[in-house]
């Protein structure tokens, strides 16, 4: 079975519980002395077996790393791990999941070798919002309901608001540029500072 490690919970000794996103499941598996196992790290894609032994939690066995060339690039790895942590919280308390999530990670990990990680992540997030039916294309402010101005504030969930409706806000993005981004699903027309802005919003939570 293959999956992406999205979370690690340390227990007593060096035992851990590992959260893994597979094609159809969000798994919680037990691993003895897991902290000593260098392959077990958030963001890694692994091949593994599950041992069901009638105990309280199935065990993670026969782990093999399915590596990516960019994993030695700290910049890429850092942002990739942040996204996996967010996805881990998002899928918490679920067990059966759509293969959308595994495929999103698989494709994302593939393009990450060639593209800017910040751009890859915000494009992945758009796909996720779209899949979950949460992509907001409303041209009205989500707080006051009035039509948006030419510059908008983007908040968690990529919702848009007036600057005056968000207290203490300092950053905005051009409305047309943002809506073009969400309609085409590509960040090519965004400047780097706009990408950084949207990534910062994404990192607040999926
Ligand atoms: Zn408003």
- Give the model confidence (pLDDT) of 102-121 as tens digits: 999 999 999 999 999 999 99
> Is the model more confident about 181 or about 55?
181
Distance 56 CA to ligand 1 centre (A): 50
pTM of the model as a whole: 0.93
Domain boundaries defined on the chain: 2-114, 131-202
> 39 Cβ partners below 8 Å, 6+ apart?
46, 63, 64, 65
Residue 35 pLDDT more than 80?
Answer: no
Quote the ligand 1 centre to 160 CA distance (angstroms): 9
- Residue 171 CA to ligand 1 center (angstroms) comes to 15
Q: How far is the CA of 46 from the centre of ligand 1 (A)?
A: 45
**Residues, beta carbon < 5 Å, ion ligand 1:** 141, 143-144, 162, 165
Helix-strand-coil split of the chain, %, nearest 5: 35, 25, 40
Is the pLDDT score of 55 beyond 80? Answer: no
């Amino acid at each position: 079975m293959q999956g992406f490690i999205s979370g690690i919970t340390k227990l007593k000794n060096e035992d851990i519980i590992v959260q893994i996103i597979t094609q159809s499941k969000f798994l919680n598996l037990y691993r003895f002395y897991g902290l000593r196992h260098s392959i077990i790290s958030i963001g890694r894609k692994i091949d593994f077996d599950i041992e069901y032994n009638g105990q309280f939690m199935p065990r993670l066995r026969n782990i093999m790393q399915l590596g990516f060339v960019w994993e030695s690039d700290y910049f890429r790895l850092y942002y990739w791990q942040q996204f996996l942590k967010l996805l881990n919280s998002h899928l918490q308390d679920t067990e059966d999941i759509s293969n959308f999530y595994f495929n999103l990670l698989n494709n994302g990990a593939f393009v990450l070798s060639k593209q800017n990680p910040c751009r890859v992540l915000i494009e992945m997030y758009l796909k996720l919002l779209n899949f979950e039916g949460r992509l907001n294309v409303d041209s009205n402010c989500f707080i006051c309901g009035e039509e948006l101005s030419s510059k908008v504030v983007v908040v968690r969930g990529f919702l848009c608001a007036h600057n005056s409706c968000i207290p203490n806000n300092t950053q905005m993005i051009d409305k047309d540029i943002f809506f073009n981004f969400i309609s085409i699903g590509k960040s090519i027309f965004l400047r780097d500072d706009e990408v950084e802005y949207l990534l910062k919003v994404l990192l607040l939570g999926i």
